[in-house]
Chain A
Amino acid sequence: DQQVKQNSPSLSVQEGRISILNCDYTNSMFDYFLWYKKYPAEGPTFLISISSIKDKNEDGRFTVFLNKSAKHLSLHIVPSQPGDSAVYFCAGIYYGGSQGNLIFGKGTKLSVKP
Chain B
Amino acid sequence: DTGVSQDPRHKITKRGQNVTFRCDPISEHNRLYWYRQTLGQGPEFLTYFQNEAQLEKSRLLSDRFSAERPKGSFSTLEIQRTEQGDSAMYLCASSFLGQGNSPLHFGNGTRLTVT
Q: Return the chain A residue nearest B40 by Cβ.
A: A106
Cross-chain contact B42 with A104 (CB below 8 angstroms)? yes
**B11 contacts partner chain A, Cβ-Cβ < 8 Å:** no
Residues of chain A contacted by B40 (CB below 8 angstroms)? 9, 106
A36 to B95, CA, bound (A): 14
Question: Chain B 40-68, CB within 8 Å of chain A: the 1/0 string?
Answer: 11111100101000011000000000000
A106 to B42, CA, bound (A): 4
How many Å from the CB of B6 to the closest CB on chain A? Answer: 8
Cross-chain contact A106 with B41 (CB below 8 angstroms)? yes
Interface size class of B (residues with CB under 8 A): 20 to 34
**A43 contacts partner chain B, Cβ-Cβ < 8 Å:** yes
Residues of chain A contacted by B12 (CB below 8 angstroms)? none
Cross-chain contact B103 with A99 (CB below 8 angstroms)? no
How many Å from the CB of A45 to the closest CB on chain B? Answer: 7
B contact set with A: CB distance below 8 Å: 4, 31, 33, 40-45, 48, 50, 55-56, 91, 93, 97, 101, 103-109
A contact set with B: CB distance below 8 Å: 4, 6, 9, 32, 34, 36, 41-46, 49, 89, 91, 95, 98-107
User: Can you list 24 A-B pairs, Cβ within 8 angstroms, ordered by A?
Assistant: A4-B42, A32-B101, A34-B103, A36-B106, A41-B108, A43-B4, A43-B107, A43-B108, A43-B109, A44-B43, A44-B91, A46-B103, A46-B104, A95-B97, A95-B101, A100-B48, A100-B50, A100-B97, A101-B33, A102-B43, A102-B104, A103-B45, A104-B44, A105-B42
